[in-house]
Amino acid sequence: MIGAWYLVVAASFGAYAVLDGFDLGAGVLHRRLARTDAERRQILRAVGPLWDGAEVWLLAGAGSLFTAFPAVAATAFSGFYLPTMFVLWALTLRALGVELRAHGEGPVWGAVWDASFALGSGALCFLFGAMAGNVIRGVPLDVDGWTEIPLFTNFRTRPDVGFFDWFTLACGAFGVVVLAFHGATFLAWKTDGAVADRARAVVRRGAPVVAGAWIAAAAALYAARSDVFLAGASRVAGVVALAVAAAGLYGARRWSSRGNDRAAFLASCAFVGALWLSIAAALWPALLMGVTGALEAHAVAAPIGTLRFALGWFAFGLPMVAAGLAYVFRYHRGRTRVEG
């Protein structure tokens, strides 16, 4: 039961990384791929119907964590209070850029909200990567399992750590690279004309860059937490997830080169999702690593009766969420075009 809830939490956050990740990546590439006002509006029409619903999975992950492992949720949200505020500000900035862009005219109005969309999206990619880096590297836990972490100390991974150090900054940069690539596969699939052509070029040229960044991130992980690196490399689930991620990255580039944009996007989804699950496999049974020790699932789980009851509601709600998401994708199928 506890293992099932660990998987639910990991899968919920993984689904968010996949389903909102391409919107964030599209925001990162927004000003690079769109050269005119009409092309920028084309990108916003591609992501506009999808970005809001994808954030349900962020709430599902946080809610699942609070339900099944309340002590970890309390520690994480209190210890990461200021970074969490940064995330909320960036979410707001991104949302304003998407929603307000079409409610005014003029070059200044458009430029302001285009910058808001791009800045908010890039900040979220970076912050989510840095947060994952903190979970992997570990935080200073006291005897009661609480943490208070400053934004930065000496930028080292030991002994007195801050939210930002060389490892978490590297994880943040890796998050930007991965999700920008993911966003390019989405825009190649959902747009046409010059924007789609530029997005395909980013996919083809960006895949080797992502692979190099992945190798660099793995080396950084080994330097910062060799125990987590070795755990992921020695567990069957971790090895399978890494193999799926590698196949997804290869498939995204190959299918994009052959003009199969939908297959390339689905391969990118597999890459991002499997990459996240490989981290979960390496961390198990820890939900939050400590500089020394960890908050492990079996020690901080809610009572079994609560887990069973909540799992029943989750099994009831998940198909409805999935059905709603499938309907939205089907309803908005097809490519967005440049409007004159």
Per-residue pLDDT of the chain (340 residues; tens, 9 = 90+): 888 999 999 999 999 999 999 999 999 999 889 988 889 989 998 988 887 777 888 888 889 999 999 989 888 888 898 999 999 999 999 988 888 887 777 778 888 888 999 999 999 999 999 999 999 998 888 777 788 888 888 898 887 888 999 999 999 999 999 999 999 999 999 999 999 999 999 999 999 999 999 999 999 999 999 999 999 999 999 999 999 999 999 999 999 999 999 999 999 999 999 999 999 999 999 998 888 778 889 888 998 988 988 888 888 888 888 888 888 888 888 888 877 5
Domain locations in the chain as residue ranges? 2-208+282-323
Which distant-in-sequence residues (6+ apart) come within 8 Å of 195 by Cβ?
33, 34, 39, 42, 43, 187, 338
Neighbour count for residue 249 (Cβ, 10 Å):
24
Instruction: Tell me how far apart the alpha carbons of residues 39 and 201 are, in angstroms, rounded to a whole number.
Output: 16
C-alpha distance from residue 93 to each of 77, 112, 190 (Å): 21, 11, 23
